[in-house]
Amino acid sequence: MMGSRARLVSLLLAFLLARAAEAGGGSGSRYLTKDERWMNQRLDHFSPTDHRRFKQRYFEFLDYHRAPGGPIFLRICGESACGGIPNDYLAVLAKKFGAAVVTPEHRYYGKSSPFKRLTTENLRFLSSKQALFDLAVFRQYYQESLNARYNRTGFDNPWFVIGVSYSGALSAWFRLKFPHLTCGSLASSGVVRAVYNYTAFDKQVGESAGPECKAVLQEITKLVDEQLRTDSRSVKALFSAQALKNDGDFLFFLADAAATTFQYGDPDSVCSPLINAKKSRKNLVEAYAQFVKDYYIKEMEIPPSSYDQEYLKDTTPNDSSSRLWWFQVCSEVAFFQIAPKTDSVRSARIDTRYHLDLCRNVFGEGVYPDVFMTNLYYGGTRIAASKIVLTNGSQDPWRHASKQKSSKGMPSYLMKCSNCGHGTDLRGCPQSPFRIEDENPHLSCTDQGTPQTAHLPQQSMQ
């Protein structure tokens, strides 16, 4: 979800894969497979009369499968195009447990869109509830195709679901809604609690930055706010973001660029140059612009235009994931990353109003998130399920939307270190070489060179 804003998982993945390639990668290929397969999926699981279908893409990896009875890992893809099954820590687990790995693409994203034109009207079947049903139908379809392969009927392999971020929430919710279809779930940085005014995000950014870096970031925010009032054209140009007409979009873009580094366990990339600039009395706004251009725009490949509401309105965009995730934000989960009342890192102009205006401007009147209903439906942190493992990274601004405490049958772990970000348990830390064969990839996440271990669960799994 949400680059912090628009794409959680896709960015992380692209970023870590790039770093892995840089580091020589260790075990070679970035993907276990990219061979596309297709199934016919029902468009509306909640209508008894609408029988329309669409093509849903999926991937399967059977090299490690202890056939015919071995477990199946259902790795859930979330809010981005899903081009294959990534070769990360899950591959190590699959080998260890003799598991098959299967991954369907989330409806609407990538090549699994039921519609060519993503008008608000056509987006009405985009929701976590429909997506969960897709997973259930896929699970049955795949089990049957496996049974046909082995000439058997009515057999059930043990299925285990796994996801990170929004798909981490889907992983927990799948176990909640379809407990008979899965024996357990891993919700890595799973945002199971929808939050309307998500001020804790910015607060965590400040905490993860630490006092010195936070102070510089706040000073930059103040300077940019001033320059926007006096000469918005040149300050936007400095960041190669003159296309962003709306000041709010521009400020959100700037806030996200910094937040992303903490989210993905790479704090030094923003803090080191800024603290250095401060110490040597260089122009702070220019130093920040350099970071944004080199790191966010170039290395992470986030174009400023993806923050442009005019671009988000496009119903046939080149890359649909920003528009699609914003629709989910605006209709279901909110996570409005607004500035807290005091001591915010981001500009105070990024407020609830900005988000509501964006939702109305981009999708039209009447599209707004009913967070209360979302949490009523799933239970939020009071989710009444079992056999769900929840993991958080200590520096990840999203962890406050995860389940805070262990409870019966649902252990929660916190990986603590200076660069433990989003989905760290599966993906490792980008600041250290990414070695998936490590027993625990998060051990490559370090605090002054000392590997940190995860906290023990407060309760063991029943």
Which residues are at the interface with ligand NAG (CB under 6 A)?
151, 196-197, 318, 351-352, 392, 399-400, 402, 404, 406, 412-414, 455
User: Which C-beta is closer to ligand NAG: that of 20 or that of 426?
Assistant: 426
Residue 58 amino acid letter: Y
- Is residue 65 among the annotated active site residues? no
User: Which C-beta is closer to ligand NAG: that of 95 or that of 111?
Assistant: 111
d(C-alpha 334, C-alpha 369), whole Å? 6
User: Which C-beta is closer to ligand NAG: that of 30 or that of 403?
Assistant: 403
Among residues 202, 249, 308, 396, the one annotated as catalytic is 396
- Is residue 396 among the annotated active site residues? yes
Beta carbon of residue 200, minimum distance to ligand NAG (angstroms, whole number): 8
Beta carbon of residue 410, minimum distance to ligand NAG (angstroms, whole number): 10
Beta carbon of residue 415, minimum distance to ligand NAG (angstroms, whole number): 9
User: Which C-beta is closer to ligand NAG: that of 61 or that of 264?
Assistant: 264
Beta carbon of residue 187, minimum distance to ligand NAG (angstroms, whole number): 11
User: Which C-beta is closer to ligand NAG: that of 360 or that of 455?
Assistant: 455
User: Which C-beta is closer to ligand NAG: that of 151 or that of 448?
Assistant: 151
Residue number of the CB atom closest to ligand NAG = 414
Among residues 128, 422, 442, 444, the one annotated as catalytic is 422
d(C-alpha 6, C-alpha 297), whole Å? 14
Among residues 4, 10, 80, 165, the one annotated as catalytic is 165
- Is residue 422 among the annotated active site residues? yes
| HEC profile of the chain | CCCCCCCCHHHHHHHHHHHHHHCCCCCCCCEEECCCEEEEEECCCCCCCCCCEEEEEEEEECCCCCCCCCCEEEECCCCCCCCCEECCHHHHHHHHHCCEEEEECCCCCCCCCCCCCCCCCHHHHCCHHHHHHHHHHHHHHHHHHHHHHCCCCCCCCCEEEEEECHHHHHHHHHHHHCHHHCCEEEEECCCCCCEEECHHHHHHHHHHHHHHHHHHHHHHHHHHHHHHHHHHHHHHHHCCCCCCCCHHHHHHHHHHHHHHHHHCCCCHHHHHHHHHHHHCCCCHHHHHHHHHHHHHHHHCCCCHHHHCHHHHCCCCCCCCHHHHHHHHHHHHHEEECCCCCCCCCCCCCCCHHHHHHHHHHHHCCCCCCCHHHHHHHHCHHHCCCCCEEEEEECCCHHHHHCCCCCECCECEEEECCCCCCCCHHHHCCCCCCCCCCCCCHHHHCEECCEECCCCCCCCCCC
Beta carbon of residue 167, minimum distance to ligand NAG (angstroms, whole number): 18
User: Which C-beta is closer to ligand NAG: that of 290 or that of 381?
Assistant: 381
Beta carbon of residue 15, minimum distance to ligand NAG (angstroms, whole number): 21
Beta carbon of residue 307, minimum distance to ligand NAG (angstroms, whole number): 13
Catalytic sites, residue numbers: 165, 396, 422
